[in-house]
């Protein structure tokens, strides 16, 4: 059984965290401002109806959990997808994917000039030869950790900011924590998949604009899905974004449109499938080695 490369995985995790931490004003503060703007615009748009009730819950309190969760998942997705896309464009992804060589293999290759035949002169550095290998699962884990850390920091900052204007109570702490972590993992994995598939930032933006954003906005963030026609009400239950927002709303204001147990199971199953798929694609080097 292959042992886990703890040092290599930790180093990649650290790199992913520092990558967004160096520009914290863009990666942490900006989402807070965006969320508060959403809250202000929706409140002002309601005008005299701003205090109206949605399924027995005040409108501002109803939309607050959805806005917080949207900020969390959008930043988890953005962190992994942009990091992987930049690594592909800059050509540094090969440092993660390159197969390892043992000391004996390096000596043998050097002795018979195999390196000179297989590669251009100067193409391989000593660091590249000795670099510890990372499995597909370890690489995915490191990228996901970076996405989780960023989304968690954004979530705490957004929650604190929203609370100043819309006070809420945390009714179910552990359920809320589960949904935040599960949602962050899911969007981080989707970000990795998007980064693997995309060959340009245009393709990356297309996934964000045509898939991620619509699924987030049409998941009951600003309304109760019970107000929808029967057909669209059923369609919403096939949207995993609905379960993460609905579960987090239940944790904060004790209101849900769906079943909490079902939401937990859907997110768990989705994450397992996405994890296996991303690890497999990294192992094969799909759209990464070419």
Q: How far apart are CA 156 and CA 240, in angstroms?
A: 22
Residue 132 has pLDDT above 80, yes or no: no
Mean per-residue pLDDT, 10-30: 87
pLDDT in tens, 169-187: 888 999 999 999 999 999 9
Q: What is the mean pLDDT of residues 32-37?
A: 92
pLDDT band at 118 (very low <50, low <70, confident <90, very high): very low
* Angle between helix 136-165 and helix 260-284 axes, rounded to 10 deg: 140
User: Of the candidates 222, 174, 263, which has an alpha carbon nearest to the alpha carbon of residue 52?
Assistant: 222
What percent of the chain has pLDDT above 90? 34
Predicted local confidence at residue 130, as pLDDT: 42
89-104 residue pLDDT tens: 887 777 777 655 444 5
Work out the burial of residue 146: count CB atoms within 10 Å of its CB; fewer than 13 is exposed, 13-18 middle, 19 or more buried. Answer: buried
**What's this model's pTM, rounded to 2 decimal places?**
0.83
């Amino acid at each position: 059984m292959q042992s886990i490369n703890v040092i290599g995985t930790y180093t990649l995790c650290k790199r992913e965290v520092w990558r967004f931490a160096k520009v914290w004003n863009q990666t942490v503060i900006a989402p807070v401002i965006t969320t508060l703007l959403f809250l202000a615009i929706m409140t002002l748009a309601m005008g005299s109806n701003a205090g109206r009730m949605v399924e027995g819950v005040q409108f501002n309190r109803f939309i607050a959990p959805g806005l917080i969760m949207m900020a969390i998942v959008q930043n988890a997705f953005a962190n992994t997808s942009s990091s992987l896309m930049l690594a592909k464009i800059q050509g540094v992804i090969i440092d993660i994917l390159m197969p390892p060589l043992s000391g004996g293999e390096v000596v043998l290759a050097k002795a018979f000039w195999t390196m000179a035949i297989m590669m251009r002169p100067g193409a391989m550095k000593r660091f590249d030869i000795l670099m510890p290998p990372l499995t597909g699962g370890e690489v995915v884990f490191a990228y996901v950790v970076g996405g989780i850390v960023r989304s968690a920091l954004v979530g705490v900052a957004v929650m604190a900011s929203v609370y100043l204007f819309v006070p809420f109570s945390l009714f179910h702490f552990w359920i809320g924590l589960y949904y935040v972590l599960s949602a962050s993992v899911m969007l981080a994995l989707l970000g990795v998949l998007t980064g693997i598939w995309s060959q340009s930032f245009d393709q990356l933006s297309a996934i964000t604009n045509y898939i991620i954003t619509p699924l987030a906005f049409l998941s009951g963030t600003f309304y109760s899905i019970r107000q929808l026609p029967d057909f669209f009400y059923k369609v919403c239950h096939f949207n995993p974004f609905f379960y993460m927002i609905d579960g987090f709303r239940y944790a904060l204001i004790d209101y849900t449109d769906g079943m909490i147990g079902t939401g937990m199971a859907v997110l768990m199953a989705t994450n397992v499938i996405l994890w296996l798929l991303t690890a497999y694609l990294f192992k094969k080097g799909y759209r990464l080695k070419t």
